[in-house]
Each structure stands twice: as C-alpha cells, then as structure tokens.
C-alpha cells in the first residue's frame, strides 16, 4: 500500500528549495502573494503570463501545470476561488485537487507552498491535518486479488513550507496516521469473503499486536464463548464451517488507572442472510458487512501510530452468517450472555445478535464509554443515504462529542431517536425480546435492541450501513475511521484545530 511521508519545513527562500513539483495555491481575487511572486520571477514570469492569457483563473478546483524553475521541475497552480470564501469546504476541494494533480504526474516528491493559505473557519493545524489525511487516503489502491492493479501513486514525499514547524509536523503526522488507518479499513473490507474470514481478522489483530509494544491481543474461540454464555453470537455462526472469533485488542497508552474507551465492531465477514436468505442481486456486497470491524482495525492502527496517551480496547465479533442444516431457524429462541432470551424472527438481523453478547462482554473493562460500529440496517440507508452515519446514544454528552468529531473530520453522523415507544416493537410472546421490530423504523428498533445490553455504561451506536461502502464504483470508504480517531484524539487532548 502506497504511503506518503510528510515533513514540515521552514523555508526562507522558496526558489532555492528543490522539488519535482512545487504546488502553489492561488486566489482568484487577490494579487500574487510574496511566495507566488518569487516563484513567478524564478519561472520567468510564467505564472503571471498564464493569468494574463486567461488560461488559469484560479477558480476553486482549477489546476494547471507550468514549466518549472531551476529548483522545481514542475509548477502546479491550484485555484482556491475567492479568498474570503476559502472555508473548510473549499479547503477540502483544494486538497483533493492537489492530489488529482500530483496523481497525474510521475513526481516522487512535492513541495506545498502553503505559507499564505488561510482557512476562514479553521486554523493551520486543521488545514495541514486534513491535507495529509486526504493525500494519504487517496493514495489507496486495491491490489490483493488482481493481476494488474491500478498504478500506484508515484508520490512518496511531501514537504510543506510553514512558519510553525513543530505544531505543523504534529498536525501532518496526525493526518497521515488517520489516512493510513482509513486505508487499513478499506483494504480489509474490500477483501473477498473467502480471504477475509474471522480467522484472517484474528491473524491481522495478532500482527498488529506484534508491531506495537503497548497493544496486547486476545482471541476468544467458540469453546470459550460457549462457556461465557454467548449463545446469541454463536447462533449466527451455527450454519457455517468457519469458526467465530471474539477478537480483543487492548491498547495501554494511558495511565493504568484510566478507564478505557471501548470500540466494538460488527465483523460479519460474509452475510448470506442465513435461512432468511438474501436476494442474489448485490449479495456480493455482503463481504462489506464487516465494515464496522474494519473501521475498528483502522482506528487502532491510527491511534497506535500516534501513540495517543489514553487506554482503548477494541472488541471485534467476527463470524459468518450462512445457511445449512445446522443454521439457526426463524422462530428459534437463544439465550444471550446477559441472560436475556431472544426470539430470532429473521436470521438476516444477525449483526445485533453478535453485538449484544460483545456489549455484555465489555462490561468487565469498566469503560469510560463504549461505541459500537456496525453495518446494521438497510433502513439506515433509506433514512440517511450515504452522507451520514446513523448515531444513537444513551448519553447526550457522548452523542455531542461524536457529532463534533464527525463535523471536525468531515466524517459526519446524524443523531437518531432511542425512544421507549420504539422498544415496544421488540416485544415477543416467546422470549424477552425479538430480534426485529417490524417494518417501521428498522434502524431505530435495531439500536433499541442493542440498548437493552448497554445499560451499565455510557454507550453509542453508529449504524454505517450507508457510509461504509459505495456500490458505484464498488469499494469500501474506510468510514468512520476519521470520526473515531478524531473522537479519541479529543479525549486524549491531541487536538488539531
């Protein structure tokens, strides 16, 4: 997987800095900045000539290549639009335009001349973090099972000219680590179900543990789950030959006495629907049903790379949901680890069955907060589309923290209700509760089901069924790694604002 190294550097004379491509942001309604004027002089007036000819108007999203200078082999001019309108949205477009331009070249290094680039509603740290995250995550290529993958990005090094070297480097490092975490999640979710099995995820967790001295890993096998009473989780995996795994990754970056933040990921590595078999159309996309688990892995990669000073425990409930003579049937009743009985009315509502036991299991960690992440319901896709993840929480403060992290990282969520009226739809004549609540409010009733098992701590649920992958073009998005990483950075005090 391509990675980019970012370096913040204070450059007194930009015309003497060597690079294969110098990137120069320009506004449409202002004169040349001191940096642009110096580069224009070094380039023999090429920048001003391009403006005078009308070939480049510095519109937002516009880019043009010019011949380089004695030290910079290429000049990439990137339009930023009107200076007063250069807000976060315009900055995100700028970052993507920079990537698109560099991706069109064979340049192995680049120099970003950002000294005079100011965002109207954010500071320099936010800008640099976002740029590093965008460039790093955009470099992702899926290569695992194709003989001729898309060409890798040639770019390997980026130097950013800035007057505040230490804070700038910290922001770049945070953005780069988050971008790599996004790519870890995308790679895991993009892998086919015959490769990325519960056992494969367990091996990836062990590898991450070997690479990080502060991260310990424990894998619970089905025998141990049975001893713990996780019959709800095991009911999902009854129809497959692939053994389920409960993967526990314990990152100890804070004080021993600090309560941990717990992430719980739904890891259904393939979801056929079980006996309640899904239609054949788009069933291949059910390899993405472990998107919650993938985002947990990506977030753990990011925070361990940053060495955040806090404790985080990640729990992944990994299983396949397949039909067979041993599979759980609609109408079966199973007993969860919490002792509550569940009538399985639909075996395709399996995510909540693995998550409820995982949510009970994490009580032992006495968490500061628990966040579960799951591609849980098609109803959430109907409600919110792909732009926002559905957010449910039993504490307003936790909900606001996650919403804020989503806005800050532009990996947004939207809070949904958890009213008791919806919980009534889960009533069963034959068990303590049913695993579905009827056709109305499907995402809400799924969250209400999980709430029954999260009463002993602050808890939030992210339904990412609409945001975890795209169908056209098909591929994982790596969401909500950026949101989760930002949330944990905020809890640790590592804030790029």
3-state SS of 348-408 is CCCHHHHHHHHHHHHHHHCCCEEEEEECCCHHHHHHHCCCCEEEEECCHHHHHHHHHHHHH
Residues above pLDDT 70, as percent of the chain: 99
Mean pLDDT (whole number) for 444-458: 98
Q: What does residue 413 show for φ and ψ, rounded to 5 degrees? A: -130, 165
CA distance 278 to 269: 15
On the question of a cis peptide bond just before residue 480, with omega within 30 degrees of 0, the verdict is: yes
Say whether both 287 and 337 belong to one domain.
Answer: yes
From 134, 163, 192, the end of a domain falls on 163
Q: What distance in Å separates the CA atoms of residue 453 and residue 49, rounded to the nearest whole number?
A: 67
Segment 453-463 shows an average pLDDT of 98
pLDDT confidence of 433, banded at 50, 70, 90? Answer: very high
Q: Are residues 217 and 140 in the same domain?
A: no
Domain identity same for 141 and 252: no
CB 68 within 8 A of CB 42: no
Which of these is catalytic: 278, 329, 415, 456? 278
Q: Are residues 193 and 269 in the same domain?
A: yes
Together in a domain, 272 and 147: no
Cβ within 8 Å of residue 159, ≥6 positions away: 7, 8, 9, 17, 19, 109, 110, 111, 112
Q: Are residues 190 and 132 in the same domain?
A: no
pLDDT in the model for residue 494? 66
Q: Are residues 436 and 396 in the same domain?
A: yes
- Of 163, 197, 224, which one is at a domain's C-terminal end? 163
CA atoms within 13 A on the CB side of 8: 24
In whole angstroms, give the CA distance from residue 241 to residue 299: 29
Q: Cα separation of 101 and 62, whole Å?
A: 10
Domain containing 388 equals: 183-492
CA distance 247 to 263: 11
Half-sphere exposure of 207 (CA within 13 A, CB side): 8
For 400-431, write each residue's pLDDT tens digit: 999 999 999 999 999 999 999 999 999 999 99
**Strand 413-415 with 389-393, pairing:** parallel
278 assigned to active site:
yes
Please indicate, yes or no, whether residues 188 and 149 belong to a single structural domain of this protein.
no
Whether residue 262 contacts residue 313, with contact meaning beta carbons closer than 8 Å, is answered with yes
Tens of pLDDT, residue by residue over 204-236, are 999 999 999 999 999 999 999 999 999 999 999
Q: Are residues 154 and 261 in the same domain?
A: no
Say if 175 falls within a structural domain.
no
What pTM does this model have?
Answer: 0.97
Does residue 174 form part of some domain? no
User: What is the distance between the alpha carbons of residues 117 and 133, in angstroms, rounded to a whole number?
Assistant: 18
Token pair for residue 249? Answer: 């990754």
Q: Identify the CATH number of the domain in which residue 58 sits.
A: 3.40.220.10
Encode pLDDT of 174-198 as tens digits.
999 999 999 999 999 999 999 999 9
Q: Is residue 22 part of a domain?
A: yes
> Per-residue pLDDT for 79 more than 50?
yes
177 part of a folded domain: no
Q: Do the Cβ atoms of 30 and 83 come closer than 8 Å? A: yes
CATH number, residue 428: 3.40.630.10
CB atoms within 10 A of CB 142: 15
Q: Is residue 297 part of a domain?
A: yes
The average confidence (pLDDT) of the chain is 96
Q: What is the pLDDT of residue 8?
A: 96
pLDDT in tens, 333-372: 999 999 999 999 999 999 999 999 999 999 999 999 999 9
Give the pLDDT band of residue 497 (cuts 50, 70, 90). very low
Report which DSSP code applies to 241.
S
- CA dihedral for 5, 11, 17, 22, sign (positive or negative): positive
Reported confidence tier of residue 1, pLDDT bands at 50, 70, 90: low
pLDDT at position 329, please? 98
The active-site residue out of 352, 451, 479, 491 is 352
- Boundary of a domain, candidates 132, 163, 194: 163
Same-domain pairing of 74 and 17? yes
For residue 47, being part of any structural domain is answered with yes
Asked if residue 203 and residue 119 are part of one domain, the reply reads no
Whole-number Cα distances in Å, 382 to 281, 386, 389, 396: 18, 9, 12, 25
Contact assessment for residue 370 and residue 395, using Cβ atoms and an 8 Å cutoff: no
In a domain, 334, yes or no: yes
Same domain, 321 and 370: yes
Q: Give the alpha-carbon dihedral of 273, 275, 276, 278, to 10 degrees.
A: 50
Q: How many separate domains does the chain show?
A: 2
Task: Please give the average per-residue pLDDT across 309-323, as a whole number.
Answer: 98
Burial tier of 97 (Cβ tally within 10 Å: 0-12, 13-18, 19+): buried
Three-state DSSP class for residue 345 = coil
Q: In this structure, is residue 172 part of a structural domain?
A: no
Q: Give the C-alpha distances (Å, rounded to integers) separating 139 from 67, 155, 402.
A: 25, 9, 27
Catalytic (active site) residue 329 = no
Of 401, 404, 374, the C-alpha closest to 390 is 374
């Amino acid at each position: 997987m391509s990675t980019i190294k970012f370096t913040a550097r204070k450059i007194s004379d930009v015309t003497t800095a060597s690079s294969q491509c110098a990137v120069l942001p320009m506004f449409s309604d202002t004169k040349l900045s001191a940096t642009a004027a110096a580069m224009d002089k070094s380039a023999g007036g090429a920048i001003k000539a391009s403006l005078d000819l009308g070939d480049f108007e510095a519109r937002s999203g516009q880019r043009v290549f010019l011949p380089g200078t004695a030290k910079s082999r290429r000049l990439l001019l990137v339009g930023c639009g009107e200076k007063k309108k250069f807000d976060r949205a315009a900055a995100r477009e700028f970052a993507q335009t920079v990537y698109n331009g560099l991706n069109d070249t064979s340049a192995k290094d680049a120099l970003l001349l950002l000294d005079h680039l100011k965002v109207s509603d954010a500071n320099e740290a936010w800008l640099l973090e976002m740029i590093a995250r965008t460039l790093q995550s955009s470099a992702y290529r899926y290569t695992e099972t194709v003989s001729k993958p898309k060409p890798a990005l040639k770019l390997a090094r980026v130097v950013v000219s800035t007057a505040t070297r230490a804070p700038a480097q910290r922001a770049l490092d945070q953005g780069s680590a988050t971008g790599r975490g996004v790519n870890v999640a995308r790679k895991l979710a993009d892998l086919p179900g015959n490769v990325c099995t519960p056992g494969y995820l367990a091996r990836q967790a062990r590898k991450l543990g070997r690479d990080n001295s502060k991260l310990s890993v424990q894998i619970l096998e089905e025998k141990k789950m049975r001893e713990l009473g996780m019959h709800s989780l095991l009911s999902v995996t009854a129809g497959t030959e692939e053994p389920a795994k409960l993967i526990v990754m314990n990152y100890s970056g804070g004080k021993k006495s600090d309560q941990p933040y717990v992430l719980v990921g739904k890891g259904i590595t393939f979801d056929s629907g079980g006996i309640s078999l899904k239609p054949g159309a788009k069933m291949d996309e059910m390899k993405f049903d472990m998107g919650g688990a993938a985002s947990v892995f990506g977030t753990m990669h990011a925070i361990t790379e940053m060495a955040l000073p806090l404790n985080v425990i990640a729990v992944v409930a990994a299983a396949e949901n397949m039909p067979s003579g041993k599979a759980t049937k609609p109408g079966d009743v199973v007993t969860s680890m919490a002792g509550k009985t569940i009538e399985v009315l639909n075996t395709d509502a399996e995510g909540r069955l693995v998550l409820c036991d995982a949510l009970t299991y994490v009580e032992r960690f006495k968490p500061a907060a628990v966040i579960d992440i799951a591609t849980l319901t098609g109803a959430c896709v109907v409600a919110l589309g792909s732009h926002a993840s559905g957010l449910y929480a039993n504490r307003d403060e936790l909900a606001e923290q996650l919403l804020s992290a989503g806005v800050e990282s532009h990996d947004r969520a939207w809070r949904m209700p958890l009213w008791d009226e919806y919980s009534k739809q889960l009533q069963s004549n034959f068990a303590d509760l049913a695993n579905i609540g009827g056709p109305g409010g499907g995402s809400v009733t799924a969250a209400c089901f999980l709430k029954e098992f999260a009463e002993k701590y602050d808890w939030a649920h992210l339904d990412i069924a609409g945001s975890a992958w795209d169908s056209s073009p098909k591929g994982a998005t790596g969401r909500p790694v950026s949101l989760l990483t930002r949330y944990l950075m905020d809890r640790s005090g590592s804030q790029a604002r």
